Structure 1
Amino acid sequence: MIRPSLRPAIVLVVAMLAGCASQKSDFYTLSVEAPSDTTRSTEMISVVVGAVTVPELIDRPQIVIRGGANQVDIDEFARWAEPLKSQIPRVIAGDLALVLNSPRVSVYPIAGDSAGAFRVRTDVERFDAVPGESVTVDVMWSVSPPGKGRPISGRTTVREPCTGPGYGALVAAWSRALATVSRDIASAIRPAPAL
């Protein structure tokens, strides 16, 4: 038997739990962006996009946004559908496949001679967003050519405007920013022909 003095506290706790349970989480995923400068070639290039490193601050299920110079906001109900460590290499591989016009771009070695593939490594230094304004992506990357060629390193920093409010617009802007990173990586894999 519950004491009468505890009934209001129990009702309050149950009401709070019911309120929390009614909040629905939204899940987001980065997408491959169709590049504007696809290279048409008959040469079949193989590329393996390796693991990516991301800052621990954003290595979580929740989407992290900038709340000020020294503040971030972590929204418990705006979440990534899969870890960024999985999404970013998948998106870069998809973008590279479009830019290089090659079906042999993957996050895993493709059957055949994996020694003949370019290898891409990425280190995400910054993956920030200011809602309703823009996102900033800063990625250090390296491309190791097949054989014993010297790796090519670069850094791409992109500030991409948001096209609207909300997390959907932020995620779309992050996807466009990663497409720019992918174009820079593609230039290291297949340099523009000399004129």
Structure 2
Amino acid sequence: MMQMTTIRNRLAGAMLAMSIGMLGACSTPVQERYFVLSPDDVSGPSGNGKTAVMGIGPITIPSHLDRSQIVTRSSDNRLVINQFDRWAEPLDENIQRVLIENLDRRLHPQRIETFPWNSRDGVVWQIVVDIGGFERQPDGSVQISARWKIVNFDSGETVVSERFSDSMMPRDTTTEGTVAAMSDLLVRLSDSIARSYQ
């Protein structure tokens, strides 16, 4: 009888130790990681003189991307929201900042203003971008679809209006690889706008 009691006590002690260990593991916080899109460092020819003042914006994105978490697709109709991989700033602001840097290096405007601005800022050409999709797809590729236009700010006339769609395979399956591919797609979008602007 004494031996059975000893065995039960040992089993109970072992289970208690395992429970405490599991609780300790569960209480370890998962570290959030923060990401930003980045411009490239390519500079276009400066030409004979700087172009007029440009205004970039508004930049609009779908509501499902307008969140701090990075969103990917697991199917055409299902989104995956990563709770621990997040944007370090609002995605539309990050896209705007990257486009400003990329276009500044390609077009060398006299000045670039960010939306919203006022009449005293002297904006001549306004570049408006509406992002329709911008996420990693079920096959692992990253896709972007967008509409953009160049508007004469004084008259309100749209002088160029284009659709842009492109995709690329990231270097790996990590979030870092996905964000790097998204940055590269913004480079291609910037190139498309710059070609039409010149």
Q: Distance in 2 between matches of 1:44 and 1:171?
A: 32
- Post-superposition offset of 1:41: 1.5
- Sequence identity (%): 25
- Post-superposition offset of 1:104: 1.8
Per the alignment, residue 42 of structure 1 pairs with: 48
Per the alignment, residue 129 of structure 1 pairs with: 136
Residue 93 (structure 2) pairs with residue 86 (structure 1): yes
Q: For the aligned residues, what is the CA RMSD?
A: 2.8
Per the alignment, residue 177 of structure 1 pairs with: 185
Residue 31 (structure 2) pairs with residue 29 (structure 1): no
Give the TM-score of the pair, scaled to structure 1. 0.79
Q: Distance in 2 between matches of 1:86 and 1:42?
A: 32
Q: Distance in 1 between matches of 2:121 and 2:61?
A: 26
Q: Distance in 2 between matches of 1:28 and 1:69?
A: 24
Which runs of 5 or more structure 2 residues have no equivalent in the other structure? 1-15
Which runs of 5 or more structure 1 residues have no equivalent in the other structure? 1-7, 191-195
Which of 152, 159, 170 aligns to 1:162? It is 170
Q: Distance in 1 between matches of 2:156 and 2:64?
A: 35
Kept in 2, the 8 Å contact 1:104–1:110? The answer is no
* Count of aligned pairs between the two proteins: 178
The structure carrying a bigger helix percent of its residues is: 2
Kept in 1, the 8 Å contact 2:66–2:90? The answer is yes
Go from structure 1 to structure 2 and tell me whether the alpha carbon gap of 1:20 and 1:125 turns closer, same or farther (over 3 Å shift).
farther
- Post-superposition offset of 1:53: 1.2
Q: Distance in 2 between matches of 1:116 and 1:70?
A: 40
Per the alignment, residue 66 of structure 1 pairs with: 73
Kept in 2, the 8 Å contact 1:131–1:170? The answer is no
Kept in 2, the 8 Å contact 1:159–1:177? The answer is yes
Give the TM-score of the pair, scaled to structure 2. 0.78
- Post-superposition offset of 1:38: 1.7
Runs of 4+ in 1 over 4 A off after TM superposition: 108-113
1:163 aligned counterpart, secondary structure:
coil
Per the alignment, residue 77 of structure 1 pairs with: 84
Listed one character per residue, the Cα deviations across residues 126-158 of structure 1 (whole Å, up to 9, x for unaligned) are 112037832101111111135437311111111
2:64 aligned counterpart, secondary structure:
coil
Kept in 1, the 8 Å contact 2:66–2:91? The answer is yes
